[in-house]
Structure formats: C-alpha cells, structure tokens
Structure 1
C-alpha cells in the first residue's frame, strides 16, 4: 500500500518557514514583474495559499517593506563604515539595486502616497550624508555635491530604468547618464 503523499498542515510551526518563502518569492516576483505584480503570483512562487500570505503581510506595502528591509540593512552597514570609499560603495549599491530591482523605487513612491509619516527620503538622506562628507574630505567626491543632488541622480536612474526599451543596454545608458551628471559610480 503506497504511503500517504498528502502534505500535512504544520500550522503555526510552519510560520517562520512560510514567512521566509514569501519574502524570497516576493523579491523574485517584484524583480521580474515589478512592484504591482499580482500577490497571487507571490503566493504561488512561495508555495503557500493567499491566506497565508495575507496573514503575514496584510498589504502589498507591508510585504514590500519587509522584502526591502534587508536592502536598508545593507545600506546602513556601508554608510556606517569610516572608510572614505564607503560613499562610492553605497552609491554603486543603490544604483545596482535601482537597475536590478526597480520595484524598490516603485514601493517608495507608493509609500509616499499611502503611508502616513513614511520617512524613506529622510532615511536615505541620513544614510548618504556622512559617507558623502567623508568622501569629500578625502577628495574622492566633488565638494559641491549635495545629498539632494545624489538623490536626484538616483531618481534619474530610475526614470531610465522604467522607460528603457532595450534592457540589454540598460547599464550602459545609466552609466552614460551618470557620467553626464558627474556621478558615475566606480567600475
């Protein structure tokens, strides 16, 4: 007699595994299909029902915040480095994430519209300010460059990403635009 192949409902014991699976699936789906991809696609990719997804993350925005929280952790670690080269590393990481995961920027735009008191722009200013100052003091960045200039350049990169017709040449387009703006990340 064949064994029972039916999955056993592990209930609350599966909660942490389900959460991890949902976050990994959301990152993949958002990266491939954008921030507004159907949440049913996230649940399917994670191997969970939509009810499980919504128990963990009642809104798209809460899911997106959780997915991209590890990006913020990475940015904060780079920003905290006393090395004058930290700004170049942070800027490169932000540009790479903008190109590879434009959904992050879409989430920020939605958060500004929906989340009362969302502080993403201020949080980014706090992250960029100290390493930019250290880079400027070391002669590694233009002394006239401001955090607002950097944030504007990042928005420009996002515009290039979402309007690009030829994604194969996307990194070249971004590099050309950043060179024009004087904010080309190091190779």
Structure 2
C-alpha cells in the first residue's frame, strides 16, 4: 500500500514562481559539474547539485546540448555585462573572461573551436557566442593595445590562454592562465565572476 506524504512532509509546490529560480540553480550547478567532471557528466548530477529532480531539469532543458548552451549563454552574458559597466577597462574585462576560462570547460571548448579560425564546422550557436565575446572584449580594447595590432590577435590570444588554462583545480588553471597572459605581455585584472 502506498501512503501519501502528510502535508508537513510534502514540499510546498511553488509552481511557476520556482521556475526561474530552478533554471538559475540548474545553470549554476551545470557550470560547477562541468568544471569538475567535464561535459560528459551525468545530467542527474546536475539536477542533484541544483536540488531539483531530473524532471525539472528536462522541463527547462530537453537534452544535454541545451544545458551546455545555457551555461555558455550565461558565461557570455556575464562577460558582456562586465564590458558594458561604467568604468570597465580591458584588464577588468579580461579578468572576467579569464574567470570563465578557468571555471567552464564548455566555455574553453567554444573559444578553442572558434579562435582565429574560420567558422567552418563550428555550430551556429557556438560561432554566435564567440562573436559576442569578441565584440564585448574588443569594445574595451584601447587603440594601440598589443591585442589590437591585427584583427585576429585578440581571439588568437584568448584561444592561447584557454589552451593554457588546464589543471586539476580552478586555482591551478587560473595560475596557468595568468602566466599565459603575462607571457603575451597583457595585463589582466582580478580574476573573478561578475558581481551582480
């Protein structure tokens, strides 16, 4: 015999009010899980980390690609937000970009795929996101900056730093990314996420 949960044990159904919060929690959890386990991590791990059931995950994201695309979209949106902020300079924007490079394997992958190469073979959404990153960073690139010398230099440098941002921990990846920027002769601001 199946017994129904009493009202005091049953979580309150917040319905649509919970949807935005659940989606944000799923994206944050996916970013963490992908950083720890890579893009092949089980979706069930993402749902568990977000504190929701897999059904909730699938209501927001029909498949693995949709979860990765949402994480990437959020990464790009945050970089655009930093670049658009009053008083932002290239060092601050590169610091936020570097945080995402050290935090998100998916983000590194998209920038590697695009870099300074042609768009052939790159999914349309990946190409569009990479273009948005380039536009946001380039908007804060002062005339005469070493990354402005040639049209391909900016994203080639980002791809090089992304390639260097490897290692078992975020701190190790940050250390390597900072070293790569230093070797390229580029100053980077604090490596941190966007402050909402």
Query: TM-score, length-normalised on structure 1?
Result: 0.73
Q: What is residue 128 of structure 2 aligned with on the other side?
A: 119
Larger helix percent: 1
Q: CA separation in 2, counterparts of 1:174 and 1:156?
A: 9
Whether 1:153 and 2:157 are equivalent positions in the alignment is yes
Q: CA separation in 2, counterparts of 1:114 and 1:143?
A: 24
Q: Over residues 42-93 of structure 1, what are the superposed CA-to-partner deviations in whole Å (9 max), with x where a residue is unaligned? A: 012123222221121012232223234333233223323574x621211121
Instruction: Give structure 1 stretches of 5+ with no counterpart.
Output: none
3-state DSSP of counterpart to 2:10? coil
Higher relative contact order (CA 8 A, sep 6+): 2
From 45, 69, 74, give the equivalent of 1:70: 74
CA deviation after TM superposition for structure 1 residue 182, in Å: 2.0
Q: CA separation in 2, counterparts of 1:120 and 1:44?
A: 28
Q: 1:101 to 1:76 in 2, by over 3 A?
A: same
Contact 1:27/1:67 (8 A) holds in 2: yes
Instruction: Give structure 2 stretches of 5+ with no counterpart.
Output: 1-5, 191-196
3-state DSSP of counterpart to 1:136? coil
Q: Over residues 122-166 of structure 1, what are the superposed CA-to-partner deviations in whole Å (9 max), with x where a residue is unaligned? A: 22222122211xx226xxx2375345212112211222223x478
Q: CA separation in 2, counterparts of 1:28 and 1:131?
A: 28
CA deviation after TM superposition for structure 1 residue 186, in Å: 4.3
Q: Aligned ranges for residues 54-65 of structure 1 at < 5 Å?
A: 54-65=58-69
Q: 1:32 to 1:150 in 2, by over 3 A?
A: same
Whether 1:35 and 2:42 are equivalent positions in the alignment is no
Q: For this pair of structures, how many residues does the alignment match? A: 179
Structural RMSD (CA):
3.4
Q: CA separation in 1, counterparts of 2:131 and 2:44?
A: 32
Whether 1:92 and 2:95 are equivalent positions in the alignment is yes
Q: 1:68 to 1:150 in 2, by over 3 A?
A: same
Greater shift in the superposed pair: 111-120 or 40-49 = 111-120
